[in-house]
Amino acid sequence: MTEPLGPGCEILGYRLERVLGRGGMGTVFLATQLSLGRQVALKVLHPQKVGDPQAAAAFFAEARAAGRLTHAHLVTVHDLVMDPARGLYCYAMEYVPGGTVEALVTEDGPLTRITALGIIREIAGALAEAHRQGFIHRDVKPANILITRTGQAKLLDLGLAANRLGPLGGASLTPGGRRLSVVGTPEYMAPEQGRNPDDATPASDVWSLGATLVYLMTGKTPFAGSTVIDLIVRAAMDPLELPEDFPSDLTALLGALMAKVPGHRPRDGQAVVDLLQRLEEGQFPKPGTTLEHRPKAAKPPSPKKPPVSAKPLALPLASPLRRRPPVRRRLR
């Protein structure tokens, strides 16, 4: 397509009203769906990406991934339309009046505990549905969370979503076979995802959700670095530092959400929802302990009692029974 798109243009049954935002893959317009007379957010693939098969495939995958998911806290996709002859590839999604939570914190400062946890709980519910359907978001961050005029949180931008039931693919490699690309936003990226996007799991989204909570309550990202590599290394190696007056129960929560080892985190969005329910009910451990979300280990079977006629077992005097000292875990 050679003519520029702008307000007043009509394409594929939609009239463009104004630009809502621009990203690496496309431009999002506020548009009117002419057949129904309703406002939608219409994402249009950048013209320079049209000739790139990988970019087009990723664009379609984004639309189809979002279209498969239905949840109150996920932005709904209505339609996928295209006109290859004109180089037009678009998909229409629910228009959510309001702004991002990143903009909210930038303008008004850190959020209250109740507001921040409410947002995190709603987005955890959205991730729970995505994870149930086999998807990993891979870019959970404040800029991808919309706040409606009624205060409801909605997760958007599945452009980096990966179907963990199928191949990820699409990464650029060096001649030696090493990955060039970084998938996600480094400030909110789990350590394993920074090392290799193919290693991302639902627990990686959980880490990003924890990093988002840090930003909501402090106005700062959890780690900083002078370069992307420096930032990825710090997230993988440095302990999480929080303000001295940060609530102790939320410190324990973040210790779980942002554990360096993926297996020590809640496994997915639903596990985070469950964890937040425990927090609300006051079932969190005392300050200074590490909270890990792991299945409870089965209790070992009780030893059978010896028959009455059996003689008691004599222990050598040189080997008295001793209790093992408790193992203390440090919050990493």
Q: How far apart are the first and last CA of the chain?
A: 52
Say how far apart CA 125 and CA 127 lie, in whole Å: 5
Catalytic residue among 83, 108, 139, 249: 139
With a CB cutoff of 8 Å and minimum separation 6, the contacts of 287 are: 248, 249, 251, 252
What phi, psi does 109 have (nearest 5°)?
90, 180
Smallest Cα–Cα separation from 159: which of 313, 9, 23, 329?
A: 23
Q: What is the CATH number of domain 98-167+179-280?
A: 1.10.510.10
Helix (H, G, I), strand (E, B) or coil at 139: coil
Smallest Cα–Cα separation from 131: which of 100, 101, 155?
A: 155
139 a catalytic residue: yes
Domain ranges of the chain: 10-94, 98-167+179-280
Q: Please check whether residue 255 is in contact with residue 331, taking contact to mean a CB–CB distance below 8 angstroms.
A: yes
Q: 246-293, pLDDT tens digit by residue?
A: 999 999 999 999 999 999 999 999 999 999 999 988 876 554 444 444
Look at the block and give the residue holding tokens 């106005």. Answer: 219
pLDDT confidence of residue 260: 97
Count, residues in the chain = 332
Q: 121-179, pLDDT tens digit by residue?
A: 999 999 999 999 888 998 999 999 999 999 999 998 765 455 443 333 344 444 444 44
pLDDT confidence of residue 251: 95
Class of domain 10-94: alpha beta
With a CB cutoff of 8 Å and minimum separation 6, the contacts of 276 are: 117, 120, 121, 124, 253
Domain 10-94 matches domain 98-167+179-280 at the CATH topology level: no
The answer to whether residue 326 scores a pLDDT higher than 50 is: no
